[in-house]
Structure 1
C-alpha cells in the first residue's frame, strides 16, 4: 500500500497486508484509491481536495486521508476506535510527515464529540455489511463534522442510503466495493 499522488507519491505505508478481519481492517486497495482520486480531481466536482479539511471515518490505516493530504488538503481528522488502527494511523502519519496537519481520535463513530471545525471532504469506510454507514453519517451531521456542500465518499459492499440532508450524486462499483458519492445540502 502506497500513496498514489502528490507530495508523498510512491511512499509505502504501514499495512495490515490482506486485512485484519478481527479488527475489521480492510485497507482500500491502491487501485480503488487511485480511481477515487481520479474521480475527485477529474473536474466533475471541481477540486474538492486542495485546501480542504478532511474527515476520515473508520480510518483504518489512514490511506484515504493521507492521500488527500499528499494532494493538497489542509488538514485531516482520522477517527477509528480500534487499537490496531490507531497504531497504524500514528505510524502512517509519521511516515508521511503530516503530524502537524493530522489529528487522531479513538472514539465510537456513532458517538462523536462536537467537531472543532466542519470538514469539506469526508471519507467513510465502515466494516462491510455492518450497516454502520448511515448511523455514522447521522452522528457526524449531529456533531457538526460535515460542512454545507461537503463531498462525502462512502465505501461499502452496497450503496449507502443517505440520511436526511445528504444527496446521492453517484455510485460506482469496483469489484466487491461500491463507492457512493454524496453531497451535504442545506
Structure 2
C-alpha cells in the first residue's frame, strides 16, 4: 500500500509502510481530519504525540502542516524501525527546518501514557489504536494522558475508533467536542472543558 504525505512542506513524500499488521488511516479520512485541525490552527508550531503510530502517517502529516516536534510511539519493532527510516529521510529533506524535531519511541502506547515524562505538554495527541483495542483500555489511556504533564488546558486529543465500537468516555474535566464518521472510522476530538490551572499554561 503506497501512502504519501498529503499536504504541506513534505507534500508527496512517500511513507514506508509495513507489509501487514497496521491499519493506516485512509487518505480521505486523513484529509478530513487535517482540514479540521488546520481550520482550528492547532498544528502551528505544535508539539505532537502520535500513539499507536503504525506508519507514522498522522504525526508526519502534522509535521508537514506546521508542527515543530513529533514523538511517535509504536510497540511493533518493525513498524517503529520503518517510522525511524521515514523520519531520517525527512530530516534530509530540503523542507526540514532548523528547530524541528522528530523521534520514535518503541513502547506500548498505554505504558507511555501512564509513565513517560514530558518537558512541555503536547499540543496535539493522535490516538489511532487497532479496532480490537477495548473501550475500557481506551478510556484508561485517555485518563492517564489527561491526568499527567503530557497534556495541558490547550491540548487537543484526536481518537480514531471503529464506528461499531462503543463511544469513549472523556476523562474528568475533558469533553468530546466533536465526532465525525468516515466510512468505518469514527473520529473523536477531545478537549479540556475548563482551564487546568495547576498544570501550567502556555
Q: In which range does the TM-score fall when normalised by the shorter chain? A: 0.7 to 0.9
Distance in structure 1 (CA, Å) of the matches to 2:126 and 2:142? 10
Query: Is the aligned partner of 1:4 residue 2:6?
Result: yes
Correspondent of 1:50 among 40, 44, 51: 44
Query: Is the aligned partner of 1:26 residue 2:23?
Result: yes
* Offset, 1:16: 2.7
Give structure 1 regions of 4+ aligned residues with deviation exceeding 4 angstroms: none
Cross-structure match for 1:40: 37
Query: 2:146, 2:171 within 8 Å by CA — same for their partners in 1?
Result: no
CA-to-aligned-CA distance 1:11-31 (integer Å, 9 cap, x gap): 1111135xx23xxx1111111
Distance in structure 2 (CA, Å) of the matches to 1:92 and 1:133? 28
Query: 1:167, 1:182 within 8 Å by CA — same for their partners in 2?
Result: yes
* Offset, 1:116: 2.6
Cross-structure match for 1:16: 18
Distance in structure 1 (CA, Å) of the matches to 2:147 and 2:79? 24
Q: Unpaired runs of 5+ in structure 1?
A: none
* Offset, 1:84: 2.1
1:5-154 to 2 correspondences below 5 Å: 5-16=7-18, 20-21=20-21, 25-42=22-39, 45=40, 47-97=41-91, 101-112=101-112, 113-131=116-134, 132-154=137-159
| Count of aligned pairs between the two proteins | 178
TM-score after normalising by structure 1: 0.88
CA-to-aligned-CA distance 1:98-150 (integer Å, 9 cap, x gap): 69511211222222222232101110001113223222222223441112121
CA-to-aligned-CA distance 1:15-55 (integer Å, 9 cap, x gap): 135xx23xxx111111111111111123xx3x000111101
Query: 1:115, 1:143 within 8 Å by CA — same for their partners in 2?
Result: no
Correspondent of 1:168 among 158, 170, 176: 176
Match of 1:54, SS?
strand
Distance in structure 1 (CA, Å) of the matches to 2:147 and 2:110? 10
Query: 1:3, 1:63 within 8 Å by CA — same for their partners in 2?
Result: yes
Q: Based on CA coordinates, which of the two structures has the bigger radius of gyration?
A: 2
Q: Unpaired runs of 5+ in structure 2?
A: 197-202
Distance in structure 2 (CA, Å) of the matches to 1:173 and 1:35? 10
Distance in structure 1 (CA, Å) of the matches to 2:103 and 2:61? 15
